């Protein structure tokens, strides 16, 4: 009888344990949408025509939920990556990023340097904060984004790499944002918050350095697991020998985007954090599926030189970075093979010319690019004659009524011409292989294209 009671008690115990486990797992697997604290919010950002390859207004969308920020920031999250892409793409205009914050119920929005005219040393950025709640836990989230396109004169800042340390231009801008962020946190009594940081292109490069500065602060602003950093299509700007392997800094790039190849690793730069490559060999099909009306030219391989977009980019870089041969007595050879050589021989010219480029009206810029792409080889060679480039570009300058020092213009155009002439043989091979590759690859930097690639990547992950 005693044995029977023991067996019966054991059966009751097993049934109780099973019931408890089923109850527990049922609660854990309950549909998140049933929890009002994490009800998803659909959010959209409108890309202006000048920021899309199609030259059309394009709307991109993602989903927001509070619980995205109650995970370990070191783990890559597909939903947060898509949302962060939208966040970065809201950065060009103060009104646009303000609307993004409003749509997600953020408060205390601060936009800085959006109303003033961009200069070579300026940077525009935005902050906002929100109280998050998830499973009876609450915290403050501070969102930070940095303008990554439509920044005009700030183009020149991209060219100032400096002789040591991080990319000088990007680092100076990151310090400006950090100083403002500390004031914002103090003003709004935000101690120990979670931080969400995102940037695109130049904004991503500055954001990468800002993230490192925040993590290296003596008085810790945030811990890595609570610091959500997602940057996109960023140029390299972090000195390689610094401690940059923070797993919470997610750099998402399309390796066929030439902007991400600058500044070259041979100069000692990297992006920092972890790298996710969203390039897909079926890129043309992905773009066509996302934007059926977009006419996209395909990449033209050359079996002897390059067969993929990445090989093409590397070939162009290796060509431009060749040091001056010892036997070459040409005093006009422009050597940019190292960081020091670039600063000495071409940094000022690059800053001047990119500053000029950013001064053109959007339609003028497109007209210049179209004119260059439609030239034949002999017309390109004519550009390399004395004053050839000057005679080509001056009518566009006059049409847009841009005030420029003609002597400085001629000097820097001559330096650019000499850079090309220093590598004439290889660059002619590139030209003969298909100049359309340049336009194709630049097109792969546009936000609408990379959003399509990111969506394909997250859908297949």
**Taking Cα atoms as reference points, which of 382, 388, 393 lies closest to residue 356?**
393
> Which residues, 6 or more positions from 17, have their beta carbon under 8 angstroms from its beta carbon?
none
Which neighbouring-strand residues pair with 194? 141
Up-side HSE of residue 83: CA atoms within 13 Å toward CB? 25
pLDDT of 433? 63
pLDDT of 263? 92
The angle that helices 362-373 and 388-399 make with each other, rounded to 10 degrees, is 150
**Domains present along the chain, CATH in parentheses:** 39-296+446-460 (3.40.50), 323-422 (no CATH)
> Alpha-carbon distance 367 to 364, whole Å?
5
Q: Which parts of the chain sit beneath pLDDT 70?
A: 1-38, 242-245, 327-330, 431-435
Are the C-beta atoms of 299 and 305 separated by less than 8 Å?
no
pLDDT tens, residue by residue, 312-340? 999 999 999 988 887 666 678 899 999 99
pLDDT of 1? 44
Sheet holding 107-112, edge to edge: 107-112, 125-134, 137-146, 194-200, 227-232, 249-253, 274-277
Cα 74 from chain centroid? 19
pLDDT of 296? 81
DSSP string, 72-104: -TTS--HHHHHHHHHHHHTTTSHHHHHHHHHHT
Are the C-beta atoms of 144 and 208 separated by less than 8 Å?
no
pLDDT of 432? 66
Up-side HSE of residue 455: CA atoms within 13 Å toward CB? 15
Characterize the bridge pairing of strands 137-146 and 125-134: antiparallel
pLDDT tens, residue by residue, 79-104? 999 999 999 999 999 999 999 999 99
pLDDT of 50? 87
pLDDT of 331? 72
Cα 192 from chain centroid? 27
**E-strand spans in 292-425?**
none
């Amino acid at each position: 009888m005693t044995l029977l009671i023991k067996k019966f008690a054991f059966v009751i115990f097993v049934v109780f344990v099973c019931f408890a486990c089923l109850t527990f797992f049922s609660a854990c697997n309950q549909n998140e949408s049933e929890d009002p604290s994490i009800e998803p919010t659909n959010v959209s950002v409108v890309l202006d025509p000048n920021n899309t390859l199609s030259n059309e207004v394009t709307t991109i969308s993602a989903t927001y939920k509070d619980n995205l920020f109650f995970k370990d920031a070191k783990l890559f999250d597909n939903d947060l990556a898509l949302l962060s892409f939208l966040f970065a793409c809201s950065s060009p205009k103060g009104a646009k990023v303000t609307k993004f914050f409003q749509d997600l119920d953020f408060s205390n929005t601060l936009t800085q340097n959006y109303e003033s005219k961009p200069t070579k040393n300026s940077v525009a950025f935005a902050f906002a904060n929100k109280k998050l709640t998830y499973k009876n836990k609450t915290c403050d989230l501070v969102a930070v984004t940095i303008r990554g396109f439509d920044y005009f004169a700030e183009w020149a800042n991209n060219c100032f790499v400096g002789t040591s340390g991080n990319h000088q231009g990007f680092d100076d801008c990151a310090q400006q944002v950090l100083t403002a962020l500390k004031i914002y946190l103090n003003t709004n009594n935000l101690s120990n918050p979670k931080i969400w940081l995102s940037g695109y292109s130049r904004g991503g490069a500055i954001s990468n350095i800002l993230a490192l500065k925040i993590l290296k602060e003596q008085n810790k602003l945030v811990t890595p697991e609570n610091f959500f950093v997602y940057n996109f299509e960023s140029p390299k700007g972090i000195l390689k020998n610094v401690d940059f392997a923070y797993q919470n800094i997610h750099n998402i790039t399309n390796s066929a985007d030439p902007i991400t190849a600058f500044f070259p690793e041979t100069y000692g730069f990297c992006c920092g954090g972890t790298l996710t490559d969203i390039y897909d060999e079926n890129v043309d099909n992905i773009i066509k599926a996302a934007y059926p009306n977009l006419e996209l030219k395909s990449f033209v391989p050359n079996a002897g030189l390059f067969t993929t977009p990445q090989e093409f980019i590397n070939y162009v870089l290796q060509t431009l970075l060749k040091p001056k041969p010892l036997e070459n007595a040409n005093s006009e050879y422009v050597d940019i093979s190292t960081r020091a050589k670039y600063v000495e021989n071409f940094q000022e010219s690059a800053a001047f010319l990119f500053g000029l480029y950013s001064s053109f009206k959007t339609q003028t810029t497109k007209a210049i690019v179209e004119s260059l792409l439609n030239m034949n080889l002999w017309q390109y060679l004519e550009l390399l004659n004395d004053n050839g480039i000057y005679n080509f570009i001056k009518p566009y300058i006059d049409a847009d009524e841009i005030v420029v020092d003609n002597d400085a213009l001629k000097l820097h155009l001559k330096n650019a011409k000499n850079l090309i002439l220093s590598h004439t043989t290889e660059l002619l091979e590139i030209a003969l292989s298909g100049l359309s590759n340049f336009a194709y690859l630049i097109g792969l930097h546009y936000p609408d294209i990379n959003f399509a690639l990111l969506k394909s990547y997250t859908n297949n992950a």
